[in-house]
Amino acid sequence: MADNSTAPSAVEDFSYPGADTVSRVKLLRGDGRIRLGDCAEPSQIQIWTRAPGNPDNKICFTVAAATGSLSLQLADVFAVQTADGRAVRVGLTADGATQTLDVAKDGFKGVGEGIGASPTAVVELTVTG
């Protein structure tokens, strides 16, 4: 009988669970409170994108608390929407520069190509309230 001593470590490293099975967005690290959701179900953050693999041009995230963070890589984002009473700060990169965008509760903001600017990627989501 195996004693399992060659099994992998079970230390939580905060890397997104099962990220390698998701191709439409690169999910990196988080504190567990922002999770990729199903846009057909209630969600607190919706990101509009032209990135391949997103036929509805939309990716949705659920937020479990008034705080939370997730680092990710999602290209060609053109808008960010919040719902269900959550506000979020969005980390963006465009043309090699980074900036943040605050989206209030139940808000909608155009981003990058959505407001006639350069193609923009979302790299960080931080729940602010």
Partner 1 sequence: MLRNSSFRCRRAGALAAAAAAAVGTLTTFAPAGAVSGDAAADDTYAFTARLVIGDNLRACTGSLVDRYWVLTAASCFADDPAQPQALAGGAPKWRTTVTVGSKSVEVAELAPHADRDLVMARLATAVDGIAPLPLATAAPAAGQSLRVPGFGRTKDEWIPNKPHTGVFSIGTVSPAGIGTTGTGGSSVCKGDTGAPAIREVNGRAELVAVASRSWQGGCLGVPASETRTGAYSSRVDDLGDWVHVLRSRTVEVKPGLHVQAIGSDSRLWETVADYKAGSWLGSWSPVPSGAITAVDSVAIGDTVHVFVIGSDGRVYTRDGKVGGNWTPWGEVPGGAAGAKGITAAARGNTVSLQIIGSDGSLHSTRADYAAGRWVGSWERVETNNLKAVTSAATADGVVHVFVINEDGHVYTRDNKLDGSWTRWGDIPGGAADVKGITAAARGNIVDLQIIGSDGSLYSTNGNFDAGRWDPAWTKISENKLKAITSSAEGNVVHVVVINEDDKVYNRDADYNAGRWTPWGEVPGGAAGVKAITAATTG
Site residues (vs partner 1, CB under 8 A): 1-14, 16-19, 21, 29-33, 35, 69
58 bridge partner residues: 48
- Nearer CB in complex with partner 1: 24/50: 24
- Nearer CB in complex with partner 1: 13/95: 13
- Nearer CB in complex with partner 1: 70/111: 70
- What minimum distance in Å lies between the beta carbon of 71 and partner 1? 10
Q: Is 128 left (phi over 0), alpha (psi -120 to 50) or beta?
A: alpha
Sign of dihedral through CA atoms 39, 41, 42, 43?
negative
- What minimum distance in Å lies between the beta carbon of 81 and partner 1? 23
- What minimum distance in Å lies between the beta carbon of 35 and partner 1? 7
Q: What is the rounded CA–CA span in Å between residue 63 and residue 89?
A: 13
The backbone torsions φ and ψ at residue 49, rounded to the nearest 5 degrees and listed phi first, read -150, 155
